[in-house]
Structure 1
Amino acid sequence: MYELKTKENDSSVIEFIEAVENPKKREDAYKLLDIFTETSGYPAKMWGPSIIGFGKYHYKYPTGHEGDAPLVGFSPRKAKISLYFATGDTKREELLQNLGKHTSGKACVYINKIADIDVDVVKALITQSIEFLKETYPDQPE
């Protein structure tokens, strides 16, 4: 049976951010921590060794694969900062057009630094992701 590597755990979010080598990236991580906490209304929790997640939901795909994941999150990685927002909602793509300098993969949005993006759009993406996931997966334990 496949086991998820990215699970919620009790590691310290602050210790993780403090271990970020690049001082500017560490500063941006603290800013994102404030933005995500304030906007989501959820406390920050570590997911796996390197993702800071907010809230959680349980998903189950038609294939039978299921698990838990954060509603939104971010990770200050060495190369870029990864932002995690829900996929599958057309509003996401509309919002990303106004985000600023970024690239995006299937589930991640990558930025170099907060100064490159519009923080209000990040807040809108957080809100939109949480609303979309709560509609998509309505029967969730709080």
Structure 2
Amino acid sequence: MKLSSILQFEAQRISTVNEELHRHLFQSDVPSTSSAEPLHIELPKLKSPSLQNHFRIISEELVRKYKDYLDLAASFPFSFPKPLQWKCEIGWTRYTHSGDIEQVEYPKEDVFFFDVETCVQDGQLPTLAVALSAEAW
């Protein structure tokens, strides 16, 4: 049996306490009815008749992009050849798998694997970084 078929909710009115009980609990003559103006607020439509499914759908919409990134990372082919020579320059150098080399401000792809090396004797800052994407090193 699916959990969603067990967890069905029905809307029910919340009854207020009667006046006598209210006086006993709160020791005041305040009636149990509200004199405030009704509040009119427009709520977004539910994405499903079930509140549980409504929030599941919203959460799936919010994480879909990141799930797609994870799916891409999980199917990542790691058989790309490394460049024969690396440029030792400040900034990002992009080595495409077809052999092109270009300077870029940052990796162009959305998903890449990143590694940083430090030389502790020279300081705590990164000395070398490399990123591998589906398109380039």
Q: TM-score range by the shorter chain?
A: under 0.3
Over alpha carbons, which structure has the higher Rg?
2
Structure with larger RCO (C-alpha < 8 A, sep 6+): 1
TM-score for both structures, normalised by structure 2: 0.18
1 or 2, which has the higher strand percentage? Answer: 1
TM-score for both structures, normalised by structure 1: 0.18
